[in-house]
Every structure is written in structure tokens, then in C-alpha cells.
Amino acid sequence: MRAPEDTRRALLAGAASGAWLLVTSCTRASSHAVEPETPRRSGDAENAKKDAGKEPVVTPAEDLMQEHGLVERVLLVYEEVARRIEAHAEVDPATLGGATSLVERFIQDYHEKSEEEFVFPALEAKQREVELVRVLRLQHQRGRELTAEIARRTKNFRASLELAALLRDFSRMYRPHAAFEDTRAFPAFRETLDDAAYRELGEKFEDREHERLGARGFEQAVAEIARLEASLGIGELAKFTPESPKPSAQHG
């Protein structure tokens, strides 16, 4: 037979367990009953029905940073082409031409224009990262100048060290350019907008992508750069993994 104290504890534990089950079941029932699916865009149920099946909307910074991932993969192609030129290895001009066209169409005519139209003016209006924005704008201009010259030399292709240097210059500038945007410009930009305005801008970015690049413009660009990587034999991530470092020799 239990002692009175044990009995009291058992009753309290049972009561607490019962209360927890009741609260949990009520909460679940309530969530199913009164929490409708949030439409992707603001508006009525008809808008939600129209948007069914569309890809989820990402935030503006997430959108831009995904596009920076594409920039990085273009730089891998540029660097591999430069390496081959410097090593006097064979280079297919069509591969370099495809990468340069992607830079023009996706990076400069779309991605950078979004930054110049939305991100940079918002920072300048709030006097945030003003000097950084000045440099970023200048680098966009230098990038377009480099791209124009790379495209000209690719059209009349000759595997020269000057062309390799142009590719190296482009890569050397854009790696820190994207890194500073990701870690300084975009966080500061987020602070210039309230939540509603930020969500609305995400919608605008998606509509802009569809208007300029088609329904799945980003996915098509990723597929395009993957084909160029494969043509150079750099399409597998595992190939970039170094061997384990050998232990240093111990000297007695």
C-alpha cells in the first residue's frame, strides 16, 4: 500500500498529465480550425488560387545571395579558362563565350541592375554604407568594361596571356565584391525596410526575374553554368577537395 505522500504525488502527476493532453488537443484543434493557409501574395482567396504551384517567394537578400552563388560558379569557369591559357592547353572559345554571355545577361543586365535600382539607393537615402556603395557602383562599371573587352577578344579568339589576365582581374574583383555585399551591404539594406516593405520587395524581385529572364530564369542560368563546368571537367564538387595534409616530419 502506498504512503499518503506517494498517493498525493501520483494524483498530482495524473492531473497535470490530463491537463497537458487537454491543452494539446485543444491547441491542435484550434490551429486546424482557424488558421488558414497564408496566401503567397496579399489579396483574396482568388489570388491564392492563382498563385498555387508557383515557387516559394524568397527574401530580397536571399535572392541576391543565391545569385552570388551563380557568380561564383562563373568565376570558376573564368579561372579554369585562364589556367588553361597560361598552361598552353586547349581552350574551346564557345565555352568562354557562353560564360561571358551569362555574365552579360544574368549578372550585369539583371542582378546588378536590381542592386542599382533598389539596394544602393535605399542605403544612400539612409546614409548607410555610403563609401561602400560608391566602391560597389564603381566595380559594377569596371566589371562591364572588363566584360566588353573579354567578349571582344573571345569573338576574335586568340589564347593570349592578356585575355587570361582580364579573366583573372574579373575574378579577383568580384569575389570580394560579392563578399562585402553579403556581409555589409545586404544586412544594412535589410535594416532600411520594415517587414511589410521587405516582403513586398521580395514579390517585386520575383516578378522582375520572370519579366526579364522567363518563368524559371535562375534555374535555367544554373543549368547553363553547369553545362559549361562539365565541358571543362570541373562540374563535380568533389574534384575541389584537397587530399588530407601529410603530418610534418618530427625532428629529434
Break the chain into its structural domains and give their ranges.
Answer: 60-232
For position 69, what pLDDT does the model report?
Answer: 96
**Residue 239's CB: how many other CB atoms inside 10 A?**
8
Distance between CA atoms of 42 and 171, rounded to whole angstroms?
A: 41
What was the pLDDT predicted at 54? 54
pLDDT one-digit tens code per residue, 149-187: 999 999 999 999 999 999 999 999 999 999 999 999 999
| CA atoms 72, 175, 98, 92: torsion sign | negative
* pLDDT score of 209: 84
Query: What is the pTM (predicted TM-score) of this model?
Result: 0.75
Residues in the chain: 252
What mean pLDDT value characterizes the chain? 83
**CATH architecture, domain defined by 60-232:** Up-down Bundle (1.20)
Integer Cα distance of 98 and 232 in angstroms? 12
Neighbour count for residue 219 (Cβ, 10 Å): 12
Q: Which amino acid is at 250?
A: Q
First-to-last C-alpha distance (Å) of the chain? 74
Cα 78 from Cα 76, distance rounded (Å): 6
> Which residue's entry shows cell 530564369?
217
DSSP letters spanning 129-148: SHHHHHHHHHHHHHHHHHHH
Q: For the chain, percent helix, then strand, then coil, each to nearest 5?
A: 75, 0, 25
pLDDT tens readout for residues 181-214? 999 999 999 999 999 999 999 888 888 888 888 8
Averaged over successive runs of 10 residues, the pLDDT of the chain (252 residues) comes to 44 44 40 38 41 64 94 98 97 97 96 96 97 98 98 95 98 98 97 93 87 87 97 96 86 54
Nearest to 118 by CA among 178, 57, 40, 200: 200
